């Protein structure tokens, strides 16, 4: 799969995406084509976070929106309160973010975990085990445990729709 073929926001139900993010108190804001996305860490078409707003364009990859949303969910309240572009966090949290974005993808019709794995691989996410699916079979159990420990999922990988305390 080439980078250009990853699923973009214009290819999914944007109302459903906004409703998913709203369950966490996040507001989805769209930026006009070719405009700079506020709060984007990587620039280009990557999603951005400022306070409780997640910014995207129609050409923003879905995996980017879900990744930034997962950062918002996984960060401490103190970091969330001052959020502007850089979500911060440590390696265990970053792994939790990657796992959570896969669970969030399962909540969106037309996206799903399998598609997001492909898109994450195409975009260049990298794990010690290699591709996302290999990570899921290996070290991802630590990420899963991190999410459960912080009350973001339960023992059955069900989203709790809570933010990290």
Q: Nearest Cα to 63, choosing from 99, 35, 101?
A: 101
For the chain, what are the domain ranges? Answer: 3-149
Q: How confident is the model at residue 34 (pLDDT cuts 50, 70, 90)?
A: confident
pLDDT for residue 3: 58
Q: How confident is the model at residue 121 (pLDDT cuts 50, 70, 90)?
A: very high
3 state SS of 50 = strand
pLDDT for residue 4: 67
Say whether pLDDT at 1 is over 50.
no
Say whether pLDDT at 164 is over 90.
yes
As a dihedral over the C-alpha atoms of residue 158, residue 100, residue 139, residue 151, rounded to 10 degrees, the angle is -60
3 state SS of 100 = helix
């Amino acid at each position: 799969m080439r980078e250009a073929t990853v699923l973009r926001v214009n290819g999914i139900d944007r109302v459903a995406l906004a409703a998913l993010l709203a369950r966490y108190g996040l507001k989805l804001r769209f930026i006009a084509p070719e405009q700079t996305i506020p709060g984007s860490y990587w620039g280009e078409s990557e999603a951005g976070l400022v306070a409780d707003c997640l910014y995207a364009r129609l050409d923003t990859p879905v995996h980017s929106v879900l990744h930034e949303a997962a950062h918002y969910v996984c960060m401490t309240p103190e970091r969330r309160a001052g959020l502007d572009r850089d979500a911060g966090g440590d390696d265990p949290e970053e792994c939790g973010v990657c796992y959570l974005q896969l669970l969030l993808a399962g909540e969106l019709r037309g996206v799903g975990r399998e598609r997001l794995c492909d898109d994450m691989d195409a975009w260049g996410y990298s794990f010690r085990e290699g591709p996302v699916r290999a990570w899921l079979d290996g070290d991802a159990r630590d990420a899963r445990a991190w999410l459960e420990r912080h009350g973001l999922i339960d023992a059955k990988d069900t989203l709790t729709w809570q933010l990290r305390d």
